[in-house]
Each structure stands twice: as structure tokens, then as C-alpha cells.
Structure 1
Amino acid sequence: MTEDRFSYLFEQHFIKKASNAEMEEFMHFIDSGNFDGQLEVLIDQYYGNFKPQQSPFSLALENKILNVVLNARPALKEIKVVVRKKLWANISVAASIVLCLGTAFYFYKINAYKKEQELAANFIGPGASKARLVLGNGKVILLDTLKNGMQAFEEGVEVTKTKDGQLIYNVSAQDKGEKSAINTIETPRGGQFQVSLPDGTKVWLNAATTLKYANAFKDKRREVMLSGEAYFEVAHRENQPFVVHTDKQEVEVLGTHFNINAYNDEETQVTTLLEGRVKTTSKSNVLLLKPGEQAVLNLNNNQLKMNNADLESIMAWKNGDFIFKDEDLASVMKKVERWYDVDVVFQDVDPKSIKLGGWVSRGKNISTVIKIIEPIADIHIKIEGRRITVMK
């Protein structure tokens, strides 16, 4: 009865009409090794229905493919020689016989693994517009759940959330004489947000970023503190310069568009100027930037140097993309970590020695990013929950 079942499953598989359940059952039969003799007989029977054709492959390539195929399961070695004599007589039969020789189970397992990984990856969606606001009075507001419209959370300060998710501050006239309170906006990993500061300056916050600022700029300088990455479009005030502080440097502007990447887990802090002028100051140096230039601060030696900037790559995150141009794998996977809120580990891989390039929308699930990175970097990526293992 079992032999009949095996014959039936073989036929269904051979004519490509087997259901998923039948396919799985057939693969388990083959993998058991108990049906090798019957498998050889069935192959002989079905082989007789085909007319010989010339193989399109060279003998060397045939042998290379065949060794991979027939070594898929050691239990099939007994029938390897028999099949070898016939396999390349007809390339049409080759595909079917290859599947029936346990290679089917080999590739079935690979495909099942890939499907499992694909399913796991599909559960890891892209980041979204989300952040939390900590007011000067200690009140915490989850901005992604905040209703659209104007609301007052502090005396003299009104906060408006627009339909496109932007946060706008309005400071009432009667509050002009009061001391400013310090507000904090924090985006988590997997989040980004846009805020319009009390002076009209617009700020886009990348994932895992913290921005601290006054709810009303009343001092000689408009000062904010940044950890992470943000793009600024600064409202012009001739006599009140805008200053961004990081833990290692200070960027001073009058009215300009620029991007600062100042993550604590990076080896550099990078200020890139798109429009206007800025002065970047570190412990070791002072640089004046022109549009298209960037100041790169090496955090290992506190050296500050100037480079020409690749604005397309720098601004990719704000424009909803990943763009990698000769970027090392370590840097790429840090961006993946922050945007998809995952933890990346490397196994027998030196991520700084692998360079890659490519483009993909940040709106795609992580599976799309992985499909691009794997072949370019010649690596394998395994997904377990929110843990990403990169290996050879």
C-alpha cells in the first residue's frame, strides 16, 4: 500500500500536479531512503517515454551540476551511477529526474527555508511617523497618536499637529516675557518626525534621534541640542544665529539648509550644507562650509576635516530612500537597524571590508532590502524575530 502511494505521489510530482501536502509527503518518502529501489524503477519507466536530445551543456558543466545535484543526500549514492548514464541524454528528463533524486527534497528544504525567512521578514515593516514630546513641565505626549488640530499643553504655548503629521509651535504674546521651557522630541528606532520650531525653523528627525529646544527663542542665540540625525531648514534672523550642539561639536548658522548626522554609535559626526553658510566648531578646528561641502568629525581623534558631499546619498533618508554608494556593510546595517527597529549581529563576516551600492525605498519591508543587499555583498542574512544575523 505504501509502495502504491509512493508511485502515485511520484506521478503527481512528475506531471507537476502534486498539491503542497502531497509534495511534502513525497519529499519525506524520498528523504527516508526506503524507496531508492522503487525510485530507480519509476525513473526507468518514465524515462522511456522521452526521446533523446542533445544536452546543451558541456561535459564539464554537466559534471559540476550533477555533483551538486546528486550529493544532496548521501542515501542516493547507490542509484547515482545508473542515473548518470541517462541523465544528460535528454535535458527535459534531466529536470524531472533531478527533482526525483532527492534534489527535490534538497531544494524543497531550501525553498521552505526561504519562505520561512520571507514570512519572518514580512513581519518587519518599515518605520513610520512617530515620536514622543516631553514638555518642559514633564508632560509626555505620544505624537503619532495625537489628534490633528491645535491643542494647548503648556501655558502660553499651543501645539498644532497638521494633517501631514507636522508639529507646529505657537507662542502667545502674553508669554513673551516669561522664561522659556525646554522641550524634547524623541523618535524611536523605526520612527521619524517633522517639527516646526517656535521661530519657524523646520526640522526633520531621522530614526533614533533626540532634539532638545526652547519653546520660545528669547536669547541672543537660538540653541538646540541634537543626538542622532536631522535635516534643518532654518528661519532667517539676522541678529539671532541658530546653533546646533552635539556632544562633540557646534554648528552655527544664520539662515540655511543643512543635515547633521551625529549618532553616538558612529565613528564620525557629519555636517552637510545644502544652502547658505555654516560654521562648524570642534575642539580641534573650525570650518566654514559652502553649499555641497561637509564637515566630518572623527570621534576617535577629534580631527575635523572638509569633504565634498554626495547630496543624493546624504538626503536619501529625508526623501524616503536608502541610497548606498560604495558604503561599507557595517554602515548600511546600522541604517537598517534604526529604520526597521532590529538588532544586527555579524557571524564570521568583517562588515567594514565589504563595500556595496544600491537603491531601495525606505517604504518597503525589510525583505526587499535584504534581497538587494545579499547578492551584492555576497552574504546570507537570517531572520529570527527582530534579530538579523549576517553570515557568509
Structure 2
Amino acid sequence: MQEERFPYLFEQYYHKKASAAEVEELMNLIHSGGFDQKLQEQIDWHYKNFKPVQSPFSSIQEDRILHTVLNVKTPAKQMKIAGAKKLWTRLSIAASIVLCMGISFYAYQTYSYKKGQELAASLIGPGTHKARLVLSNGQVILLDTLKNGSQTLEAGIQITKTKDGQLIYKINDQQGRNASLINTIETPRGGQYQVQLPDGTAVWLNAASSLKYSGAFKDKKREVTLSGEAYFEVAHRANQPFLVHTQNQVVEVLGTHFNINAYPDEETQVTTLLQGMVKTSSKSKALILKPGQQSVLNQKRAELKMEEADTETVMAWKNGDFIFKDEDLASVMKKVERWYDVDVVFQDVDPKTIKLGGWVSRSKNISAVIKIIEPIAGIQIKIEGRRVTVMK
């Protein structure tokens, strides 16, 4: 049936009489690759029955054009005009058939590609509230699967999951049996979570992050260890400072609001103070931060310096947004990797040299982010499963 219908569809299309449904049907048949022979037959028939048109160029101009376009090695003055006339006829056919089919088929392929990419992007949703709690005894609890309400885990430990997804962690340990036990809360790529520690300190964990902390803060210092990014609202205890350990750095506070970005695969660790006062220390230097300031630790050179902070950009992740301000593409795509749980590769693109800015909600699918990035950065993004290729 399709073998007989193909010539009809081709003629309808060639004479610009095809309906939208017929155009789509023809393009699908061509795109399938099963009708190459039929397509060749249609082109050959039109060639044999083609009515020559008068060339708009002189014979000399034809020779020059054909010599240039076809990259003929023989000097133009040695070419035979008759041969040029015959070739002009073939080029006329190409203009009437191949050009017509080619442009439309290219447009169709582009349309199909874009639709396919939109579909692939729509399947990659934003991150959600999910994490796992690893207790000191090795027990693993998937926090996003817990029902709302309170439950007791191991001796003296009680967690409560609120309606908004927050995890409140309490210790009922009168004899201090759990003081030395270390628990870990971990968020995967594509996840974030909020937890309230035993002292009342609230912590928001960004994607691909982990926080280790004691089962109870009984010592002179409250100490936690962070990998990744987290925002802290530390409960004030005048005689018990709160310490956050990251790789090559310690942040010390008494009671304050601050954000730490300390991903292992980043060149820098950035501590941003919003309220109160903190002290950041590296192996060679210590800085006291005031609200609106941030410390930047270069992990390769072990250099610690102070800068004024753009708190809107720093806190965008916690507030449910992506905000990019003159940020390089490498940094932007790392955030995309973590939040959408994808693998990003660069093809013939140096992401460090491309700067961009923009805003988009983190609640949107990855397609919304791509639509922001592509035109600003002047790149193309291809999605195959969870592989994201950035190319020129």
C-alpha cells in the first residue's frame, strides 16, 4: 500500500498540493530509509521529463560558476559549453527537486530533533526533598519515605517528620550513652533536605551533600562535618561554639546564619555570612566575617581571602531558584548536574571562557534551564537519557 502511495505523496508535495497530513506522511516515509529507491525513481523521472529553462547567466559566467562550485581542476577556458549547458540542466533539476525536498526535509528533521529534545528534557524533572539518614549502627533510613509524625529509631533517638518535609532530630539520652555516636544525613544528586539538629540548629542541605554530626552535643563544642553545600541557622549557646569542618577549613560560630559551599569537585570553598559573626580558618590563615561578607578558600593554592558577597545569588538555591550573574558555564552546568541528576559533557566547548547570567526556578524541568542557557551562551545542548552534551 505504501509502495503505491509514495509516488502520489511525492507528486502532491512537488506540485505544492499536499496537505499538512500528507507532508508529514511523506517525510516519515523518507525518514524511515525504506523508500530510498522510490525516491530515486521519482527524481530520475523528473530529470528525464524536465523542461530546460533558460540560464540567467552567460556561457562564460556558467563556466566560472560551475568551475568554482564543483571545484573542477581543469581551467575554465578549456571546459566545453555544451557540457556546461547539460550540467546547468541538471542543476536546474536539483534546484526544483532536491532543493525543495532538501530544505523541507532539513526543516522536518530539525523540527523532529527539537521535538525529540523537548521530550527528552521534559522527562528530567527537578530535584525533590529526599535524603537518607545513616545511623551510627549502620542502619539506613530513607527520609523521603517516612510518614509524617514521630518515631523512635535507636536507643534515645527520636525523629519527627513535619508536614513540610522537615526532619527534627531529638536525643532523649539522660545518661549520655549516645554522645559519641556519629550519624550522617546525605542528599543525592536531585535531592535536598532540611534537618533540625539536637541543639535546635536548622540545616538546609543542597543536592549531593552530606552532614556528619554527633548523636548529642554534650562536649564544650558542637561539631559537624560538611561535604557539599548547606545553609545553617545555628541555635545560640554562649558557652558552646558551633564548628563546621570542611576539607581544609573550619568555620566557628556562636549563633548565626550562614551558607557554606564546599563541594569536593569545586576549586573553591565559599562561606557567606548573612547574620551574626563567624570565623573561618584554613591551615595558614583565619578571617572574621561580618554580614554580607564571604571567605573564599582556593583549595589548590590554600589561599583564604575575604570578599563582598552577593547574598541573593548565594541563597538562590535555598529559595528555590537558579540565579546566574556573570557565572562561567562550567560552574552553571555543575549546578545543573547536581540538581537534575544528569551527567554533563562538553564537546568542542571551553566552559570556563563562557560567561552568562539569568534566572529560572529550580522547580522547573531541565528544559526551562536549557532555554535560558542556550541563547545566552551561544551553545547547543543535546539530551540522551540522562547524558547532557554541551556543544557549539
How high is the TM-score relative to the length of structure 2? 0.82
Residue 356 of structure 2 aligns to a residue in which SS?
strand
Alpha-carbon contact 1:249-1:283 (below 8 Å) kept: yes
Change (3 A) 1:16 1:4: closer
Change (3 A) 1:82 1:287: same
Which letter does structure 1 place at the counterpart of 2:174? Q
User: d(CA) in 2 for partners of 1:145 and 1:197?
Assistant: 20
Alpha-carbon contact 2:267-2:299 (below 8 Å) kept: yes
Residue 370 of structure 1 aligns to a residue in which SS?
helix
Aligned twin of 2:213? 213
Aligned twin of 1:263? 263
RMSD (Å) for aligned C-alpha atoms: 2.9
Aligned twin of 2:65? none
Aligned twin of 2:103? 103
Matches within 5 A, 1:313-392: 313-392=313-392
Write the deviation string for residues 80-125 of structure 1: whole angstroms up to 9, x where unpaired: 65898xx9xxxxxxxxx99944211011111111122222222211
Aligned twin of 1:48? none
Q: What displacement does 1:266 show?
A: 0.3
User: d(CA) in 1 for partners of 2:44 and 2:244?
Assistant: 76
Aligned twin of 2:8? 4
Residue from 7, 10, 22 that aligns with 1:18: 22
- The reply to whether residue 307 of structure 1 matches residue 307 of structure 2 is yes
Alpha-carbon contact 1:152-1:158 (below 8 Å) kept: yes
Change (3 A) 1:140 1:173: closer
User: d(CA) in 2 for partners of 1:310 and 1:383?
Assistant: 32
Aligned twin of 2:279? 279
Aligned twin of 2:80? none
Residue 11 of structure 2 aligns to a residue in which SS?
helix
Residue 364 of structure 1 aligns to a residue in which SS?
coil
Q: What displacement does 1:10 show?
A: 4.8
Residue 35 of structure 1 aligns to a residue in which SS?
helix
User: d(CA) in 1 for partners of 2:345 and 2:173?
Assistant: 52
Q: What displacement does 1:169 show?
A: 1.4
Alpha-carbon contact 1:127-1:192 (below 8 Å) kept: yes
User: d(CA) in 1 for partners of 2:153 and 2:177?
Assistant: 18
Long gaps (5+) in structure 1: 45-66, 68-76, 88-96
Aligned twin of 1:35? 42
User: d(CA) in 2 for partners of 1:166 and 1:147?
Assistant: 12
Aligned residues: 351
Alpha-carbon contact 2:249-2:280 (below 8 Å) kept: yes
Change (3 A) 1:18 1:369: same
Change (3 A) 1:179 1:216: closer
Which letter does structure 2 place at the counterpart of 1:6? F
User: d(CA) in 1 for partners of 2:244 and 2:17?
Assistant: 66
Change (3 A) 1:13 1:258: farther
Residue 194 of structure 1 aligns to a residue in which SS?
strand
Change (3 A) 1:221 1:6: same
Which letter does structure 1 place at the counterpart of 2:207? A
Alpha-carbon contact 2:13-2:23 (below 8 Å) kept: no
Aligned twin of 2:236? 236
Residue 330 of structure 1 aligns to a residue in which SS?
helix
Aligned twin of 1:198? 198
User: d(CA) in 2 for partners of 1:325 and 1:314?
Assistant: 11
User: d(CA) in 2 for partners of 1:361 and 1:190?
Assistant: 14
User: d(CA) in 2 for partners of 1:345 and 1:299?
Assistant: 24
Change (3 A) 1:99 1:192: farther
Q: What displacement does 1:4 show?
A: 3.3
User: d(CA) in 2 for partners of 1:111 and 1:341?
Assistant: 27
Q: What displacement does 1:24 show?
A: 2.3
Change (3 A) 1:158 1:83: same
Residue 382 of structure 1 aligns to a residue in which SS?
strand
Q: What displacement does 1:5 show?
A: 3.8
Q: What displacement does 1:20 show?
A: 3.5
Q: What displacement does 1:174 show?
A: 2.5
Which letter does structure 2 place at the counterpart of 1:122? S
Pair member with larger Rg: 2
Deviates further, 21-30 or 251-260 = 21-30
Deviates further, 276-285 or 24-33 = 24-33
User: d(CA) in 2 for partners of 1:83 and 1:185?
Assistant: 66
Alpha-carbon contact 1:213-1:224 (below 8 Å) kept: yes
User: d(CA) in 2 for partners of 1:345 and 1:383?
Assistant: 11
Matches within 5 A, 1:112-151: 112-151=112-151
Change (3 A) 1:370 1:19: same
Residue 106 of structure 1 aligns to a residue in which SS?
helix
Which letter does structure 2 place at the counterpart of 1:7? E
Which letter does structure 2 place at the counterpart of 1:328? D
Which letter does structure 1 place at the counterpart of 2:372? I
Deviates further, 310-319 or 10-19 = 10-19
Q: What displacement does 1:152 show?
A: 0.5
Q: What displacement does 1:132 show?
A: 0.6
Which letter does structure 2 place at the counterpart of 1:18? E
Q: What displacement does 1:323 show?
A: 0.6
